[in-house]
């Protein structure tokens, strides 16, 4: 079951810059157990609207069943790991 973490961000977003190293470290430590899809909301407003993103950063964890978890604001690694495990990563 493929698990995806969608990272909705913007280049001008300060909290998004705080979130980046957390995601990079998590992605490195978890190898290929999940994929990260970065969505720049300024360049891809259609996808942001589809997922009803209203604040940044927004992180959405999905699997074959759909959205498992949604986080708004800077999210700590422990919370992301718990959601990824729940999603089957």
Active centre residues (catalytic): 13, 16
Cα distance between residue 89 and residue 72, in whole Å: 21
Give, in degrees to the nearest 5, the angle at Cα 21 between 44 and 63. Answer: 55
Report the greatest alpha carbon distance in the chain: 34
Neighbours of 86 (CB within 10 A): 13
């Amino acid at each position: 079951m493929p698990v995806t973490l969608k990272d909705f961000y913007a280049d001008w977003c300060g909290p998004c810059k705080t979130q980046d190293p957390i995601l990079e470290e998590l992605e490195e430590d978890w190898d290929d157990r999940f994929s990260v899809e970065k969505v720049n909301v300024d360049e891809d407003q259609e996808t942001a609207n589809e997922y009803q993103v209203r604040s940044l950063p927004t992180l959405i964890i999905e699997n074959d069943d759909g959205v498992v978890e949604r986080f708004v604001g800077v999210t700590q690694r422990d919370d992301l790991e718990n959601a990824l495990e729940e999603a089957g990563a």
